[in-house]
Structure 1
Amino acid sequence: MRIVSLLPSTTEILFALGAGDQVVGVTFECDTPAEARERTIVSTTAIPEGLSASDIDAFVSKAMAAGEDLYHLDAGALGALDADLVVTQDLCAVCAVDVSVVDDALAYLGCRAEVLTIDPHTLDEVLTSVTTLGAATGTSARASELVAGLRDRLYAVESAVHAAHRPRALVLEWTDPAFAPGHWVPEMVTRAGGINALGTAGEKSVRVTWDAVRGSAPEVIVCAPCGYDLEGSTALGRKAIDDGELPDGIPVWAVDANASFARPGPRLVDGVEALAGILHPDAAQPPRPDMARRLR
């Protein structure tokens, strides 16, 4: 089987399932595992490099209002790969190539590849997507084993913190402007033993005012801007502190959002474990230094 993965998360899952040798095409963002970078890139971004967080938001907002695509699909490269399976999404136009673009490209090229849409909104749906990809690639046994291990780790976290005080925690999915979390992130807070202060599980992330951030009365703030690694999250978190946007006297953390918060793959469980360490230092293991950093 020849597979093109148009999502960093599904690329990661496919390699974890032992199907990495079948992956022939990926996006420019597919960087885990490192071997994924050796595959043909068929999708790039329209967002210019070097923009600030506020400039990115302005660019995305303008493009979306104009109905413009934020990702470019190289139809020629896709056609040359002669894929049997193309994995894409219909979840977020800001995150990856939309399934409609893929369908149009394949129809234009006359390709008969199967298109598999992966659209998880919750942690359970993320785990189900592992099973779905296992069934599609003949790796169901490995998928079941992987999902069982991830569920065991989630259970271990919940067991460790179940008797502890549940602090109000606010995860910021963007900081300029502020965005409250959606999809699986509020559930990650809950599983880690916190109360999600702002945002709705299973729904889209939403732009909020800094007054709303302060009014949500968080006891801990976690900066997890979508697409940023730990260093990038740290810089944006410190800027928000320096600009006086975050409530005084409240602990502020930065995390590697790109690795374990934004991408719906196995490493979300790493994110839950990191959150548990942040919220419950006396009950859970401290977050790894490459995963989280306390800013205040």
Structure 2
Amino acid sequence: MNKLALSLFCVFWLSPAYAAERILALAPHVCESLFAIGAADQVVGVVDYCDFPEEAKSKAQLGAFHHINVEAALALKPTLVITTDTNTAAIRALSDLGVKVALSAPNSVDGVMQDILFLGALTGHTSDAEALVAQMQQQLAKIRAETANLSVPTFYEVWHQPLYTIGSKAFIHDVMKQMGMRNVFADAHMDSLRIPMEVALAAKPEVVVVPTEKRDVEARELFWKQWLGDDVMVLRANPDLLHRPGPRLIEGMRALLLQWQEKTAERVTVKAL
């Protein structure tokens, strides 16, 4: 791309006029980020699970991300769609009809910050995005400082029937790393993988993280203690906070870390008695 073309591209995408877009937010984290930076009025349509903040539920619902109702979407007269995947039939149809498409798919904690800044530039809310990111970075710095010397072998239970965990390409892999948790399957260069139980046990995790969605978490804790012993620490993760690469991520990390610290303190107290 030559300098002239690049300049025109930047003017087109980042000019103040672009801030008046009518946006389809096709992922929960996109919706949360846009609301958090003050761009809620530009959002005209959302998809399933765009449930935070409460006001997001009042936006037009377009169905599941991979199967949005294109006719309903077009009826909203969108000028911009922000999505995690540009290679779907619906996105291609919208693009062919002149709707601009922007990709929002951060895959690391630092990437979340950059994505929020990107969305701020897209919507004309640069200063709001910068203020939010500065706050998140400050909170993240505290988490990193508290866990700087830790590298605790950790198993993240994506699903239990059958058993799935994360590889090194998963977003959660980096989240864990930032908190001093070492993914015991970091050598698997993929997002997720199915794991035989004996292989999970052989990895000898000291911490098991279990998301609280669609499972009996208490039963899962008993299960892991049965197989790994009472010394294994089972933590509960809020997927709405940790799985969404948006503005509440650091809140989710802090909550998980606090739970970890409290359980560690309880264990030390018990051993001292």
* TM-score of Structure 1 vs Structure 2, range by shorter chain: 0.7 to 0.9
Shift of the alpha carbon at 1:161? 2.8
CA contact (8 A) 2:221 2:234 kept: no
For residue 235 of structure 2, the aligned residue among 247, 253, 260 is 253
For the residue of structure 2 that corresponds to 1:217, the secondary structure is coil
With normalisation by structure 1, the TM-score equals 0.74
In 1: Cα distance, 2:108 partner to 2:71 partner? 34
For residues 105 and 237 of structure 1, the distance between their equivalents in structure 2, rounded to whole angstroms, comes to: 45
Question: Which one has a larger percent helix, Structure 1 or Structure 2?
Answer: 2
Out of 53, 58, 61, the position equivalent to 1:38 is 58
Task: Give, as a single letter, the amino acid of the residue that structure 1 aligns with 2:70.
Answer: A
Choose the corresponding residue for 2:184, options 176, 197, 202: 197
| Higher Rg of the two aligned structures | 2
- In the other structure, the counterpart of 1:139 is 125
1:57 corresponds in structure 2 to none
Greater displacement, 241-250 / 128-137: 241-250
The runs of 5 or more residues in structure 1 that have no matched partner are 46-70, 91-97, 285-296
1:1-296 residue pairs with structure 2 within 5 A? 1-44=21-64, 71-90=66-85, 99-106=87-94, 111-163=97-149, 165-182=150-167, 183-199=170-186, 203-224=190-211, 228=213, 232-233=214-215, 235-236=216-217, 238-239=219-220, 241-242=222-223, 246-249=227-230, 250-257=232-239, 259-281=240-262
Kindly report structure 1 stretches of 4+ aligned residues shifted beyond 3 Å: 199-203, 239-246, 278-284
Deviation at 1:37, TM superposition (A): 0.6
Change (3 A) 1:246 1:115: farther
What is the DSSP-based 3-state SS (H/G/I as helix, E as strand, rest coil) of the residue aligned with 1:180? Answer: strand
- 2:62, 2:92 → 1: CA distance? 15
1:119-167 CA-to-partner distances (Å, cap 9, x unmatched) read 211111121111111111011111111111111111111112334x542
CA RMSD of aligned residues (A): 2.6
Q: CA deviation at 1:43?
A: 2.3
Deviation at 1:81, TM superposition (A): 0.6
- Please say if residues 67 and 90 of structure 2, whose CA atoms lie closer than 8 Å, have aligned partners that are also in contact: no
Q: In structure 2, list runs of 5 or more residues that go unmatched.
A: 1-20, 266-273
Q: Is the 8 A contact 1:223 1:237 kept in 2?
A: no
Which residue identity is paired with 2:43?
V
Length-normalised TM-score, structure 2: 0.79
- The alpha-carbon distance between structure 1 residues 201 and 159, as it changes in their structure 2 partners (threshold 3 A), is farther
Q: Percent identity?
A: 28
Larger mean Cα displacement after TM superposition, 147-156 or 200-209: 200-209
SS of match in other structure, 1:195 = strand
- Name which of structure 1's ranges 75-84 and 260-269 shifts more when overlaid on structure 2: 260-269
